[in-house]
Amino acid sequence: VIKCKAAIAWEAGKPLSLEEVEVAPPKAHEVRIKIVATAVCHTDAYTLSGADPEGCFPVILGHEGAGIVESVGEGVTKVKPGDTVIPLYIPQCGECKFCKNPKTNLCQKIRITQGKGVMPDGTSRFTCKGKQIYHFMGTSTFSEYTVVADISVAKIDAAAPLDKVCLLGCGISTGYGAAVNTAKVEPGSTCAVFGLGGVGLAVIMGCKIAGASRIIGIDLNKDKYARAKEFGATECISPQDFKKPIQEVLVEMTDGGVDYSFECIGNVGIMRAALEACHKGWGVSVIVGVAAAGQEISTRPFQLVTGRTWKGTAFGGWKSVDSVPKLVADYMSKKIKVDEFVTHTLPFDKINEAFELMHTGK
């Protein structure tokens, strides 16, 4: 058993608490990882807020991390102690019908236990003050050591800077993949990206790499426009600057609507606007943001009858074990940006400040 520091969410709506935890050794087909770096994501904040129907407490959150394998359980063959890895919240077992289908990346092998906050055998590897602590998204990267299933880990280039590539564990991969895998943006196309946070910037990067000629960023926070343009946005607008609904504005700006739109916020009203901003006959709108529990999307069916397509994406459609090492390689060869997404680097004990920076859009 390893004793180390972890940021524990004891209950919903309260700040994280830095505690000493005990991390049990990995069981069969499990891997214990020394986490070197982690990022904070709105999904962590969503669960912490209490809005997540699958949220269990007390829990160690975090799902964008990178580290070094410390030890492996029986039967683990893909990684060994000392390997550099990224934990994966969407695993890839290679055996279930989802993994065998090229149309999806949604491996279901450990979905039920992962959703309940436990390892595949139904138990937790974390204890603190005599209490069992739940796992989160199969990763729990807000701990100096974590245990994951062996199908939830990608071995990556040992030379990669872990304080940067940890972002490929969720946000950057999700946005980039939404553009290149889910939407399959084509050269010369026009795109609209709603929400210019980390995921939205990654969508913009993907649209640019795919050859889009016009990329319109939409956000209420104008402080985000300069950075969006660095990533490839050709123009940025705020819905507050117009009297009419933003979808009408975009349809007028683009002679009938955009070819591709992306909702990167998790707001069902914006999801509708993003669909209705698409061009009749061929426009495709991709939902990337996660809406709160119980919310529903709506539009007039006529929008779809007249040739628009509504899609969703999880982890950008990447089959995780296969794709994450390639994304790291693409970053190392400067094909994709990662460093530019990092605005602040803080010590672990300032994790609550990191959440505050995220909530204020900084």
Query: How far is the C-alpha of 351 from the C-alpha of 121, rounded, in Å?
Result: 30
Query: How far is the C-alpha of 357 from the C-alpha of 178, rounded, in Å?
Result: 25
pLDDT grade for 57, boundaries at 50, 70 and 90: very high
Q: Which of 62, 41, 33, 48 is nearest to 139 (CA)?
A: 62
pLDDT grade for 292, boundaries at 50, 70 and 90: confident
pLDDT at 53: 82
The dihedrals phi and psi of 304, each to the nearest 5 degrees, come to -85, -35
User: Residue 352 carries which side chain, given as an amino acid letter?
Assistant: N
Query: How far is the C-alpha of 187 from the C-alpha of 247, rounded, in Å?
Result: 23
**Residue 236 CA neighbour count, 13 Å, CB half:** 22
Looking at the chain, the whole-number percentage of residues with pLDDT higher than 90 is 96
pLDDT grade for 312, boundaries at 50, 70 and 90: very high
The dihedrals phi and psi of 172, each to the nearest 5 degrees, come to -65, -45
Mean pLDDT computed over every residue of the chain: 97
How much is the average pLDDT of 210-226?
A: 97
pLDDT at 106: 98
Contact criterion met (CB below 8 Å) for 291 and 267: yes
Query: How far is the C-alpha of 147 from the C-alpha of 154, rounded, in Å?
Result: 14
Between 42 and 77, the more confident residue is: 77
Query: How far is the C-alpha of 13 from the C-alpha of 350, rounded, in Å?
Result: 17
How much is the average pLDDT of 223-238?
A: 97
Assess whether pLDDT exceeds 90 at residue 335: yes
pLDDT at 31: 98
pLDDT grade for 362, boundaries at 50, 70 and 90: confident
Query: How far is the C-alpha of 317 from the C-alpha of 297, rounded, in Å?
Result: 21
pLDDT at 328: 98
pLDDT grade for 293, boundaries at 50, 70 and 90: confident
pLDDT grade for 210, boundaries at 50, 70 and 90: very high
Please state the three-class secondary structure of 181-198 as a single string: HHHCCCCCCEEEEECCCH
Radius of gyration, alpha carbons of the chain: 20
Q: Which pTM value belongs to this model?
A: 0.96
Least confident of 18-22, 169-173, 183-187, 356-360: 356-360
pLDDT grade for 127, boundaries at 50, 70 and 90: very high
Digit-coded pLDDT (tens) for 149-174: 999 999 999 999 999 999 999 999 99
Assess whether pLDDT exceeds 90 at residue 352: yes
Helix (H) or strand (E) holding 144: none
How much is the average pLDDT of 130-148?
A: 98
pLDDT at 54: 83
Q: Hey, what domains does the chain have and what are their CATH numbers? A: 2-169+319-352 (3.90.180.10), 174-314 (3.40.50.720)
pLDDT at 296: 96
Query: How far is the C-alpha of 20 from the C-alpha of 132, rounded, in Å?
Result: 13
* Extended beta strands in the chain, E state: 2-8, 17-23, 30-39, 64-72, 84-87, 126-128, 131-133, 145-149, 153-155, 190-194, 214-218, 235-237, 260-263, 284-287, 309-312
- Spatial CB neighbours of 74, under 8 Å, sequence gap ≥ 6: 27, 28, 29
Query: How far is the C-alpha of 333 from the C-alpha of 78, rounded, in Å?
Result: 24
